[in-house]
C-alpha cells in the first residue's frame, strides 16, 4: 500500500473518531462521507484497532444523517434484516467485519461458520471487549442482544447453540457490519 494513502486514511479515521468521541457534533458529515470513512478502513488498520474501546456518542439525528435508512433501522432501532438474502450470510472470504456505524472491528472471518440460520454467524468476537451484551425481552421472549462496544449500535443476538470451542452463535445482521477483505501478499 502506498505510504501517502496509509497516512491519509489514518488522518481521516483519527479526525472522525476524535470529533465523535469528544462529544463534538459533526453535523456536516453525510452518508457519503460516512461511506468513504468505512471504505478507507483496511484489514491492517482494523486488526491494529481491536482494543480501542473509546466510546463514540452521537445524537439520533446525527446517526440518521450518516447511516442509510436500512442501517439506521437495524443499528439504531434494533431492527432485523431478512434471512438468507443479506450481503454476508454466504460470504466466506478472509477478512474482518467492522461495525457499519463506527468502524469498530467486531469479528474475524476465521470464526464465521455456516449456521443455517440465514444470517452471518460467528462463534466469538474478534476481541472480548469488541461487543457488549444486553437483555432483550422483545417479542415475548428473553434473548441476549449484542451491541457494538464503542457506539452501542444493535448488531444482532447471541445464542448457545454454536460450535465448539465456545458453543456460541453470534447471529449478526449484515447491514450492521462492513466486511474488510484481507489484502493479498502483493498489495
Q: Are 181 and 39 in contact (CB under 8 A)?
A: no
99 is catalytic: no
C-alpha R_g of the chain: 16
Q: Which of 99, 148, 151, 171 is an active site residue? A: 171
Q: Are 96 and 180 in contact (CB under 8 A)?
A: yes
Instruction: State how far the alpha carbon of 106 is from the alpha carbons of 8, 13, 24, 147, in Å.
Output: 23, 17, 25, 10
Name the one residue in this structure whose C-alpha cell is 460467528: 122
Of the candidates 149, 158, 156, which has an alpha carbon nearest to the alpha carbon of residue 177? 156
Catalytic residue IDs: 171
Amino acid at each position: 500500500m502506498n505510504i501517502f494513502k496509509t497516512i491519509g486514511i489514518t488522518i481521516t479515521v483519527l479526525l472522525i473518531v476524535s470529533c465523535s468521541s469528544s462529544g463534538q457534533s459533526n453535523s456536516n458529515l453525510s452518508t457519503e462521507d460516512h461511506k468513504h470513512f468505512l471504505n478507507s478502513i483496511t484489514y491492517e488498520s482494523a486488526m491494529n484497532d481491536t482494543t480501542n474501546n473509546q466510546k463514540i456518542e452521537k445524537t439520533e439525528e446525527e446517526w440518521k444523517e450518516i447511516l442509510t435508512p436500512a442501517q439506521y433501522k437495524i443499528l439504531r432501532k434494533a431492527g432485523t434484516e431478512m434471512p438468507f438474502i443479506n450481503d454476508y450470510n454466504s460470504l466466506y472470504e478472509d477478512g474482518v467485519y467492522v461495525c457499519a456505524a463506527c468502524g469498530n472491528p467486531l469479528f474475524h472471518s476465521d470464526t464465521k461458520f455456516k449456521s443455517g440460520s440465514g444470517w452471518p454467524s460467528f462463534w466469538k468476537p474478534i476481541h472480548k471487549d469488541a461487543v457488549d451484551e444486553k437483555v432483550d425481552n422483545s417479542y415475548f421472549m428473553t434473548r441476549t442482544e449484542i451491541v457494538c462496544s464503542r457506539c452501542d449500535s444493535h448488531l444482532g443476538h447471541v445464542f448457545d447453540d454454536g460450535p465448539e470451542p465456545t458453543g456460541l452463535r453470534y447471529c449478526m445482521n449484515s447491514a450492521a457490519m462492513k466486511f474488510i477483505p484481507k489484502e493479498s501478499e502483493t498489495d
